Each structure stands twice: as C-alpha cells, then as structure tokens.
Structure 1
Amino acid sequence: MPTNEELESISCQFYDIARFPKVIGAIDCTHIAIVSPGGETAELYRNRKGVFSYNVQTICDPNLKIRNIVCRWPGGSHDSTIFNNSNVKEIFERGQYGDYVLLGDSGYPAERYLLTPLRNPVTPGEILYNKTHIKTRNTVERSYGVWKRRFPCIGSKLRLKQNRIEAVVVATAVLHNICRTRNDPEPDLPVQIEIRNDESNVPNSIDNRNGQTVISNLIHHYFDRLAAD
C-alpha cells in the first residue's frame, strides 16, 4: 500500500480522473480460472459461473499498479468476505490512512474508509456521486485487463499444481507493476472475458452506519455543490 508520503500525490491523481476527493485506491476482486483441484474441498473453488477459480482481491492506484493483493481464497468466496479477513482492512480500521478512502463496488459494505455506490440515487448530487465513483473506480477494472493481456496464463486457465498457483499469480502482479513503472507498451493479446461474481444473485451487504454517514456528508458538502455549478 502507499506510504504516507505518497498519499497526497496518489489522491491528486485519482482526483484528476473525475474529481472524486481523498481516494488512494480502487478495490475489487477478479477470478483466476484453474483446473479442478480435486479432493474434498474442490467445490469451494467453483464460483457462481460454475468455473473453478481463485477469487483474487487487488487494490490499484491511478497508474494501474497493483498496490495490494490477496490470493488465497477459493472462487466460491464472496468479495466482502475476502476484504473483511484482510490485513488491509485492519490497517484502515486502525486509522493509519486518516480520512483517505478506497472505492469499491456494491459487493462490499460501505465503511467510513471504503465508499460504495448508492443503490438508488435520486438527487443531482447523488447521481453525480455515483457517476464520479464509477469512473474513478474503473481504474481497477482497467488494471485487470492490462495485467491479464500481458500474462495470458492468468487470463485463461492456470494448469498448475495448487501449491504453485498463488506464487505465480503474485509474481505476475509484481512483474505487471515493473512494466507499469517502465512504461512498457501494453501487448494486444486476446484474453477471456472477465469472470465476475453476479451481484444480482448475492444479497446486498449490510452497510456500516459510519460508512453511510461518510457518504451522506460527502454528497451534502461536496457533490451537491459540484452538481449545482
């Protein structure tokens, strides 16, 4: 994750995308398809699309670098479960990043440090909040496209022994970051369509009241005024 010295710079770069303030990361999960691991726990790896996979959580910065990765959960795990058991949540809970926030989709519960879209935006400020949120959060989706095009092994299906899969996925993430730092050209290679959780089949997470309050205050004090300009 970013150092304290990087926070302001990263936040400014995110702000330049769509004028969403205080963002230091976009979070999401992506499925890395694998062959059936076999054994008694194999079905844990079958995701909602019926594909065996790992559900890999990443947090990316505005330059599409992967700043945090969790690759140990089977494909049947929900995104919010992975986040709730991650070290990065503990860091935010301790307040290490102050009032800086992550942006996540509706698969996550809203927290004071993890802002999610509104389910039913009505006012101009709420509509602008959602529009800006989605555009800014899109960086993590773009990072998956670049990462998987560069390393087709994780964009198709990994055919490795299970004890090697996590190391390979993390290694490709590190190499992806090196390529981003060096501004290496992006390869134009085919990659399978992203395997995602179908959130319409997943009960909505219960938002933290503090998260709802942060979002409401942000809309009232910032996005309402921005929409009125």
Structure 2
Amino acid sequence: MENMQEGQQGRQRERRWKYERINYFDKYNNKEFRMRFRLTKFQFHEVLTQIEHKIVQININNNAVIPTIQLLVALRYYATACFLQVVGDFIGMSTGTAQIIVHRVSHAIVNELFDKYIKIPKREEDILHLMAQNFEISGMIRVIGAIDCVHARIKSYGGDDAELWRCRKGFMSINVQCLVNSNLEIMDIVARWPGSTHDSTIFANSRLKYRFDNFECENGIILGDRGYANSRYLVTPLANPETPAEVLFNEAHIRTCCMVERCFGCWGNMFPVSNGRMGTRFQTPERTINVILATAILYNITRRDSRKVPQSIGHYISITQVHSPPCSDDRQRLIDEYFSRLV
C-alpha cells in the first residue's frame, strides 16, 4: 500500500512555473527601448492602438497576456531572430505562449496595417513628388521605384516538394520581391514564392505587372537589373553601352537602382528574421510569410519619419513631359530624348 502511494506521488504532475512578465515599455527610456525593439515608444503606441482590438484576450483565470506585452514579444523576436524560448525567457512566459503570440501579432499587423503602409501612390501629385525624389539621386526621370528580389532564409518544410524552396545560393528560402522608392520604403511586396523561382517569374505573375499593363501609372517606369526583361515600363541597364548617352544612362540607372539593395540591407539589419542570416524556423509557409510581411510594415513605419520633401519638383516638371504618350521601348526613348541632351 505504501509503495502504491509512493508511486502515485511520483506520477503527480509537476507544479507549473509562474513567470513574472516584464513590461519593458515602462522599464526603458526611449533610446534603450528602440535599441531592443527597433521602434520608438511613439511608433510602438501607434501600432498597438491599431491592432489592439485584434490581439486582446479575455481569460477567466485573469492571467491573460495584455496586448502591450504581446507586441513586445513579437518585436523582440523580429529584432533578434533568436529561438522563441529565449524570447519567452526575456519577457517572462513559456515557449509555447511566445510562439502563439508571435503568430497572432503578425497576423494582426498584416491584416490591419498592410494597405496603409505598403502602397504605391495613386494621386497624380503624389506620383510627381515620388518621381522628383527619385530624380534627385542621379537625374533619372519618370522613375517610380526600383524592383528586385531578396531571399528570406527558412527551415525546410519537408515533403515531396522540399527542394523547390532551395535557392541558387544553396539554402532554403522564400524569394521576396519588393518595389522600393528613394526613401528606401517598400511600396509593393510579394512574399509567397519558393526560393528556386526566378525573379522574372515572380514579376510576371504579380499584381504590380498587372497595374502597369493597365496603365495605372501611365508615364512612370520602374528600374530593374538584367534579370528582368526590358519592357515599356520596366527599364533595365544596357549590357554593352557604346555611345556617351548610353554610358550616362547606365550610370544613372545603376545609381538609382541601388536603392533597392540599400533597402534590403536596412530591413535585414533592423529585423534579421525577415531576410537576415538567421531566418525563421516555422513549419508552414503561411506563418513565415506573415512574419516577413509584418516586418516590412514595421520597417516602413520607421522609415516614414525620414521622408524628405523634394526640392526640385518645379525643375523636374520643367524638364520632362509628364503626359508623354506610351512607348514600346522607354529605355531607348530615354537615351535618345533625354540623356543625349546631357552629353
């Protein structure tokens, strides 16, 4: 009898550990807070206000995680790309709770904030300001943005199609396409294609191409590298420039198009979970994609305060025909009608 009682006592469930949750919003000043969570306290409060109704919890045991701490958990994970156990220990919760919160907050950020912070201007005056900002980089006219792809590192999802996610660099990834402006903000993003997919394939099946095909930005062009096909609105550099006008065009193209690579660098350094060396270790693409999109939105929020008003908008309008008719080869027209006059 005594042995049975001892066995039952040995099989008793271990007592659950009660974590002490720390609210770092109140603990740190603005500088210390931004170093650890990448957002200022004002930006944090702005995001929290817009998604709070999506992540608030009601628990009869009165032990629910408040929205402020939920957002802190997600930001800490985005900013460090570490194991969820480390994030949970940092805030004061279990690994399982931290994982649930990261996915919940990521989903809320994407659903509530995507259309507000990742978008291409539609009003004519906004497009003109965008073109003028890009013009100030190197004198390239009519540029709306630069496009390229970056590989977001992931863990293999397994299955028969596992190798589809292996990119040309040898690791598993999601190939993420972005359109970027001179302020290094992301204006359009596609994050759903396996790493083995070519950049041109992603663009050919994107909403961005559909918009330009339907003349939504009739006079605007986007810049891309030679991985894309040169077209009416997607302008690529010349492989072998010969004339002085062609050399000048290539120089302006390279100097302007590099803003997309600078954006990837800033975005990856701020949130290494998105496209840094660490990446994510989730089991499904859907969860990974939400994290990538959420970090893109938060990155844009941090870039918004650094926007500059273009100083040469009047000069820009005077040197370009804003309503010039469409052309089958805008690259050649730019060389003949604009860059040849600058030589």
TM band (smaller chain) = 0.7 to 0.9
- SS at the partner of 2:189? strand
Pick the aligned partner of 1:171 from 294, 299, 305: 294
Pick the aligned partner of 1:105 from 201, 211, 225: 225
Aligned partners of 2:253 and 2:335: how far apart in 1? 11
Corresponding residue number in structure 1 for 2:273: 153
Confirm or deny: 8 A CA contact 2:154 2:174 kept in the other structure. Answer: yes
Structure 1 or 2: larger helix share? 2
User: For residues 98-117 of structure 1, what are the alpha-carbon distances to aligned partners after superposition, in whole Å with 9 as ceiling and x for unaligned?
Assistant: 11100001010011111000
Corresponding residue number in structure 2 for 1:182: 305
Q: Does 1:27 align with 2:147?
A: yes
Aligned partners of 2:150 and 2:340: how far apart in 1? 33
State the aligned residue count.
201
- SS at the partner of 2:258? helix
Aligned partners of 1:217 and 1:10: how far apart in 2? 21
Partner amino acid for 2:297?
V
Gaps of 5+ in 2: 1-119, 307-326
Greater relative contact order (Cα 8 A, min sep 6): structure 1 or 2? 1
Q: Does 1:127 align with 2:247?
A: yes
Stretches of 4+ moved more than 3 A in 1?
A: none
Aligned partners of 2:273 and 2:254: how far apart in 1? 28
Pick the aligned partner of 1:3 from 92, 97, 122: 122
Confirm or deny: 8 A CA contact 2:182 2:259 kept in the other structure. Answer: yes
- How far off its partner does 1:220 sit? 1.0
Following superposition of structure 1 onto structure 2, how do residues 12-161 of structure 1 map, counting pairs within 5 Å? 12-154=132-274, 155-156=276-277, 157-161=279-283
User: For residues 164-211 of structure 1, what are the alpha-carbon distances to aligned partners after superposition, in whole Å with 9 as ceiling and x for unaligned?
Assistant: 00000000000000001134xxxxxxxxxxxxxxxxxxxxxxxxxx65
- How far off its partner does 1:216 sit? 1.2
Identity of aligned residues (%): 46
- SS at the partner of 1:146? helix
- SS at the partner of 1:6? helix
Corresponding residue number in structure 2 for 1:216: 332
Larger Rg: 2
Partner amino acid for 2:186?
I
- How far off its partner does 1:161 sit? 2.3
Aligned partners of 1:144 and 1:3: how far apart in 2? 25
Aligned partners of 2:252 and 2:192: how far apart in 1? 31
Structure 1 or 2: larger strand share? 1
Cα RMSD (Å): 1.3
Confirm or deny: 8 A CA contact 2:155 2:283 kept in the other structure. Answer: no
Aligned partners of 1:38 and 1:54: how far apart in 2? 14
TM-score (norm 1): 0.85
Aligned partners of 2:262 and 2:203: how far apart in 1? 20
Partner amino acid for 1:106?
R
TM-score (norm 2): 0.57
Aligned partners of 1:128 and 1:138: how far apart in 2? 16
- SS at the partner of 2:169? coil
Aligned partners of 2:218 and 2:263: how far apart in 1? 26
Aligned partners of 1:2 and 1:158: how far apart in 2? 32
